[in-house]
Structure 1
Amino acid sequence: MMTMQTVFQATRPGFLILAPLCALLGILLAVHQPILLAPLEIVLVMVGGLLAHAAVNLLNEYEDFHSGLDQITQRTPFSGGSGALPAEPTAAPAVLSAGVAALVGVVAIGGYFFWVRGWPVLAFGTIGLVLVVTYTRWITRSAWLCLLAPGVGFGLAVTLGALIALGGRVDLSALMVSVVVGLLVSELLLLNQFPDSEADRHIGRRHLPIAIGLHRAAWLVVVMLLGSYAVTGLAVLTGWLPVAAMLSWLTLPGALWLAWQLPGALKDRSRLEPLMGLNVVVLLVTLALLAAGLWLGWP
């Protein structure tokens, strides 16, 4: 029983809402297109996104424990891992097995959609699979790949992948939504790397806070965060997204507050952690409001 609790904790369940939320955006994009949606396929898309997110979290937890990173990281609620394996080291094989099992589930769901929809599904699915398998051990060694990978994973593999799996096509509306998702998710992971910089450097990682310093990386967080609102506004002005998509701008005050406070909080963990929490809330609520806008704004 304790091992099962450890495995569950290692999935980082508090963050798993992100993948279904991104998949939901892909589903809503598909609703706007002239295709017939099957309820079972909608469920499979949501489950596939959830399993992919759980897989990358589980494999990341195992790799961080195996590399010794967990022993030197000062954890926060938003970074440094769950702490599940340092608390119960004997559960490491179970966490690895659960990660592999989740990945097998993703491949099985992807195989079904490949059989039904053909080669486009394989292209998007392969990108997602490569990101899940290579993120912790290899991608985190390259600063710019480490920045882009989360946004590509959730914006392209999950959001656009859901659309393609359901038989839709990638148009300008879908591209704008995927860019918004990509910017928000990449800046979230970038900010969450700040407290771990020294520990990550010690085991050979090289993400942007290490490569260019915290101050420059903080400005990149701000540019990407506020840039997501600019993309939504541009998409509405050009008619690629409905006016109701501007509901997502309701979180802009929180984003502006984060942008204002972040440069002065880099060396002060007591100020940085609340901003990291605010960033998570801004991302999730923004995507939820964007989904609501797509649902309400399109006939």
Structure 2
Amino acid sequence: MFAVLFGVSRANFLTLTLVCVLLAATAGWQMVAMSTWQNYLLVTLIALSAHISVNAFNEYFDFKSGLDFLTQRTPFSGGSGTLVNHPEASSIALKLAIISLCVVIFAGLYLSFQQNWQLLLIGIPGVLIIYAYTQHLNKNALACLLAPGFGFGLLMTLGAFWVFAGGLTAGAWVLAMIISLLVSNLLLLNQFPDVEADRQVGRNHLPIVIGRRRSAMVFTALLLASYGLLIIAVVMQLLPWQTLLGLLSLPLLLKLLPGIFKYADQPTELSPFLGINVILCHVYPLLLCAGLAWAAV
């Protein structure tokens, strides 16, 4: 049972959620003031439940559609394969997805009641994305590209900051946009090995529509935009200069981008670069956290 729950929740990837919440908490501390520990715990619970729910729905629907039997899995793409090995556990995956979504809804309603009803402007789209991502958004290339970043950046990270700080700042919007670009890119690159399998079940993401090599150009543009946004924000004094520590993650690009273009049409060779991209999506925000903490002391 534990192995099934671990697999369908993709627990090893939940660290990205913790990084997003940490960034919001550090930004709130640096820009405004410390929140209560109860708020930190509640926001972390909601964020983790949202991530678990979308993962479990994805595992369930991909198993039911037959995609899991077509995909060539890598450590970073293609799902966990848990339900392929344990088909009798598909109902457990669905229950986990629904229960986690209920936690998001009820905890989010409680938080909105306690703080500000306008938080529902973030919560309601978040709930819709959690359920709709696998079944509906994956059928539209633009929605499939933007939804992951929108969910983790402009909903999760920005929403967490709103709770911690009691409002929004221009700097918080910038940080949320950086996360949005990174996470959309994370999912974009992870789609490269799955093009053939995804096409067979009716998905229509960017690597299917314009090909892997052109998608690599989009990946590059979004990644460079995230660094450009950071620099502009510092120049405009929306973020403290210490957040330029985020630029220390740039050496990862020297390994990542050439590899993506070299192996764009050889997905079996892409796995190491998918891993580098996962590292980048953690290291860059953590360096931003370090810069914000530096500026706060």
Q: Which string of whole-angstrom CA distances, capped at 9 and with x for unpartnered residues, describes residues 137-159 of structure 1? A: 00000000000001100001110
Match of 1:177 in 2: 175
Specify the SS of the correspondent of 1:80.
Answer: coil
Match of 1:5 in 2: 3
Structure 1 residue 105 displacement after superposition: 1.0
Look up the equivalent residue of 2:175 and give its one-letter code.
V
Match of 2:142 in 1: 144
Structure 1 residue 194 displacement after superposition: 0.5
The CA distance in 2 between the partners of 1:66 and 1:28, in whole Å, is 40
Match of 2:96 in 1: 98
- Decide which of 273, 276, 288 is 1:275's aligned counterpart: 273
Is the CA contact 2:58–2:134 (under 8 Å) kept in the aligned structure 1?
Answer: yes
Match of 2:65 in 1: 67
Specify the SS of the correspondent of 1:166.
Answer: helix
Match of 1:224 in 2: 222
Higher mean alpha-carbon deviation, 43-52 vs 183-192, is at 43-52
Percent sequence identity is 40
- Decide which of 99, 123, 126 is 2:124's aligned counterpart: 126
The CA distance in 2 between the partners of 1:34 and 1:62, in whole Å, is 41
Q: Which string of whole-angstrom CA distances, capped at 9 and with x for unpartnered residues, describes residues 231-252 of structure 1? A: 1111111111111111111110
CA distance change for structure 1 residues 36 and 222 in 2, over 3 Å: closer, same or farther?
Answer: closer
- Could you list the runs of 5+ residues in structure 1 that have no partner in the other structure? none
Look up the equivalent residue of 1:193 and give its one-letter code.
Q
Is the CA contact 1:191–1:276 (under 8 Å) kept in the aligned structure 2?
Answer: yes
Structure 1 residue 295 displacement after superposition: 1.4
Alignment TM-score, normalising by the size of structure 1:
0.96
- Decide which of 197, 204, 209 is 1:211's aligned counterpart: 209
Q: Which string of whole-angstrom CA distances, capped at 9 and with x for unpartnered residues, describes residues 36-69 of structure 1? A: 5111111111121111111100110000001000
The CA distance in 2 between the partners of 1:54 and 1:29, in whole Å, is 25
Match of 1:114 in 2: 112
Look up the equivalent residue of 1:263 and give its one-letter code.
F
Structure 1 residue 256 displacement after superposition: 3.0
Is the CA contact 1:117–1:167 (under 8 Å) kept in the aligned structure 2?
Answer: no
Look up the equivalent residue of 2:159 and give its one-letter code.
G
Is the CA contact 1:185–1:283 (under 8 Å) kept in the aligned structure 2?
Answer: yes
Specify the SS of the correspondent of 1:135.
Answer: helix
Is the CA contact 2:213–2:265 (under 8 Å) kept in the aligned structure 1?
Answer: no
Specify the SS of the correspondent of 2:95.
Answer: helix
The CA distance in 1 between the partners of 2:169 and 2:254, in whole Å, is 30
Specify the SS of the correspondent of 1:136.
Answer: helix
- Decide which of 76, 82, 91 is 1:84's aligned counterpart: 82
Match of 1:186 in 2: 184
Higher mean alpha-carbon deviation, 86-95 vs 8-17, is at 8-17
CA distance change for structure 1 residues 35 and 244 in 2, over 3 Å: closer, same or farther?
Answer: closer
CA distance change for structure 1 residues 206 and 238 in 2, over 3 Å: closer, same or farther?
Answer: same
Structure 1 residue 33 displacement after superposition: 4.3
- Could you list the runs of 5+ residues in structure 2 that have no partner in the other structure? none
Specify the SS of the correspondent of 2:135.
Answer: coil
Is the CA contact 2:60–2:94 (under 8 Å) kept in the aligned structure 1?
Answer: yes
The CA distance in 1 between the partners of 2:50 and 2:41, in whole Å, is 14
The CA distance in 2 between the partners of 1:165 and 1:133, in whole Å, is 24
Q: Which string of whole-angstrom CA distances, capped at 9 and with x for unpartnered residues, describes residues 209-255 of structure 1? A: 01111111011011111211111111111111111111111110112
Specify the SS of the correspondent of 2:154.
Answer: helix
Higher mean alpha-carbon deviation, 187-196 vs 257-266, is at 257-266
The CA distance in 1 between the partners of 2:167 and 2:30, in whole Å, is 11
- Decide which of 248, 258, 261 is 1:260's aligned counterpart: 258
Look up the equivalent residue of 1:69 and give its one-letter code.
L
Look up the equivalent residue of 1:216 and give its one-letter code.
R
Q: Which string of whole-angstrom CA distances, capped at 9 and with x for unpartnered residues, describes residues 101-129 of structure 1? A: 11111112101111112222111011111
Is the CA contact 1:139–1:145 (under 8 Å) kept in the aligned structure 2?
Answer: yes
The CA distance in 1 between the partners of 2:89 and 2:60, in whole Å, is 10
After TM superposition, the runs of 4+ consecutive aligned structure 1 residues lying more than 3 A away are 32-36
The CA distance in 2 between the partners of 1:97 and 1:154, in whole Å, is 23
